[in-house]
Chains A and B, each alone.
Chain A
Amino acid sequence: MKRLIYIVFLLFGQATASYADTELPITVVRPTTYDAYANIPVGLTHEKAIRQVPAINPGEYFVPPAVGDIPTSKYGDMVKLGRNIFIDTQHYAKRYVGNGLNCSNCHLQEGRKPYASPMWAAYPMYPMFRNKSRDVQTFEGRVQDCFRFSMNGIAPTLDSPEIKALTAYAHWLSLGAPINKELPGRGFARLAKPRDPTPVNGEKLYKEECATCHGLDGKGQKFTNRDGYMFPPLWGGDSFNHGAGMSSVKDCAQFSKANMPLGKGWTLTDMEAWDICTYIWLQDRPWDPRFGWFFNIFAPPTGGN
């Protein structure tokens, strides 16, 4: 009987709570929609209001072949599979992915965008020596690392169709790119570091510049009409882990500088990018799979710079 009474109380508590949540007065509009630009600063100078970004001349960056030009052959089928895996990893390589990201969340625009580590600049450079593994690594091995760290999952084997298809896609994207030559737009942007970054400033900037899409809690935004994320999570259980490249403040800042906010690359100053990424770096995310629980709990995460 006691238990029953307890349940009654519980139900009533829930009922009242839901009542408070659902009610909205007719006339009042949510403050965000009513005045979304309450934070417009007063007294802006021309230099602060207008930010100069580098103009891009035609032919400055390598242009990979168009998707319509994928050949109708077995090779073309492999390329198509690779592209599908690349832009919808959640679906096509589900069992190897441990979080909510796709390849194209970092390698923007299907791995084509310069300064967003495009495939056409990476593939001709591999095999390459990497400091992370302290060894010369093939492209396939590098893709495995992506699955292990950035996707927080389990790497497909080297002879798996996933790795082969991704390699074929990267090869097709870099058709015409010279082998072993550094192309402009490779990797991320290069940054200056005028002072040590502060996460306090970073938090402020994050709320201004990033929270619209990635959410104030940094957990991204999920689709309402389907599975998956519309805007990828930056931290939390569904994001990349502590061993990922993006978990290093430097890589993150270099990426943000050239690409974020989406469509407005190069508008953050170098220092702003450092600050935001330090704030992101301090958040909780999955553990580094290279370390055991002791190091993950008691040692500071790597990549702090």
Chain B
Amino acid sequence: MKIQKHETEKQLIKMLGLVILGVSVLTLTGCGKKSDESHDAAIAAGKMLAEKGRGSIPACVACHGANGEGLDAAGYPRLAGLNTAYIDKQLQDLARELPPPGVLIEKVSKDYSKTPRIYSDLTVFSPSVRHDAVMSPIAKQLSTTDIHNLAAYYGSLSFQAKPVAADYEVLERGQDLALRGKPEYGLPACVSCHAPDGEGFGAGFPPLAGQPAAYIVSQINKWQTGDRDNDNLSLMRAVADQLTDADKLNVAAYYANRSLTVKGK
């Protein structure tokens, strides 16, 4: 009898344990679902906006491709699989009118095609502006929620890069710059911030691989002219200031040539 009683107790405890496990698992999944729901709602709203546009806002897919893969020929960037916070910030900066008061912006006019290193001064604080003739007017019409939704949508897309062939020598020079930079001129390597495969790191360091070469070149040009000046510590401006025209083409060709697979979140 004693043994039987003992066994029934054991069984009871087992059952109870199972019940508790099941309940807790259910609660956890429920919690997960709740946040997923909000995320999914944002993605869905972003998808609507991206595909259809709204009023005077054109559809994003018109330029950035049906799956946000960008357009190589025109240099429209890919958005699929980018960091959500990064897209968010870029749209905010594009919508920004003027730099905040109290910050000087140096107008730079330097010949970037000749000497390997020309700059002798650096702006310490960047005014967080990014100007683009096409994108800025669009970004100004987006609300904060729109921007958040779009960022969530494009961050959720997965992406597979299609490597673009290029001349062997160009690729080799581009690789040299991407992996080693120009140490004798104090120019750091791309990989030291944009991650070893150029896949980008966190909200601050966007991917280079899988972006159209024309986009990378145009962006570096904008860093140099001051049309884009929205990075932390103005790190990228310091780097872009030292790139010659050949460097830009080489490194852009190298990163357009990289293969990359991004899983959306």
Contacts and interface: CB of A to CB of B under 8 A. Distances in A.
B183 A118 contact: yes
A109 B177 CA distance: 10
A6 to B, nearest CB: 11
Interface stretch (B65-73, B189-197, B247-255): B189-197
A29 B92 CA distance: 11
B181 interface: yes
A26 B232 contact: no
User: What DSSP secondary structure best describes chain A's contact surface?
Assistant: loop
A49 B124 contact: yes
Contacts of A194: none
B195 A230 contact: yes
Nearest to B184: A61
B144 A27 contact: yes
Interface in A83-141: 108-110, 112-114, 116, 118
Nearest to A23: B35
B28 A4 contact: no
B120 A52 contact: yes
Interface in A130-187: none
A110 B179 CA distance: 9
Given A18-B31, A112-B180, A56 B38 contact: no
Contacts of A50: 104, 106, 121-124
A66 B176 contact: yes
A265 B235 contact: no
Given A212-B232, A261-B235, A267-B122, A29 B148 contact: yes
A262 interface: yes
A147 to B, nearest CB: 23
B137 interface: no
B180 A109 contact: yes
Interface residues of A, number: 69
Contacts of A209: 233
B31 A55 contact: no
Contacts of B104: 44, 46, 49-50
B233 A212 contact: yes
B54 interface: no
B16 A40 contact: no
Interface string A253-270: 000000001111111000
Contacts, number: 185
Contacts of A11: 20, 24
B35 A22 contact: yes
Contacts of A300: none
Contacts of B88: 29, 33-34
Nearest to A115: B186
A198 B100 CA distance: 31
A109 B145 contact: no
A30 B85 contact: yes
Interface stretch (B156-164, B200-208, B211-219): B200-208
B188 interface: yes
Nearest to A59: B184
A200 interface: no
A91 B238 CA distance: 32
B237 to A, nearest CB: 9
A56 B41 contact: no
A48 interface: yes
A62 B183 CA distance: 10
A1 B16 CA distance: 10
B189 A49 contact: no
Contact of A221 (B117, B202, B233): B202
Contact of A56 (B101, B147, B185, B236): B185
Given A11-B24, A68-B172, A212-B233, A108 B126 contact: no
B188 A108 contact: yes
Given A34-B92, A108-B188, A40 B100 contact: yes
Contacts of B183: 61, 108-109, 112-114, 116, 118
B133 interface: no
Given A26-B145, A109-B188, A262-B193, A40 B235 contact: no
Contact of B116 (A58, A223, A264): A58
19 contacts: A11-B24, A15-B31, A23-B35, A24-B39, A26-B42, A27-B144, A32-B85, A33-B92, A37-B100, A40-B127, A41-B102, A44-B103, A49-B125, A62-B184, A66-B176, A67-B179, A112-B180, A114-B184, A213-B193
Q: Which 7 A-B pairs have the closest CB atoms?
A: A42-B102, A113-B183, A112-B183, A22-B35, A19-B31, A11-B24, A33-B85
Given A27-B145, A55-B117, 6 more contacts: A19-B31, A23-B38, A33-B85, A53-B121, A55-B119, A230-B201
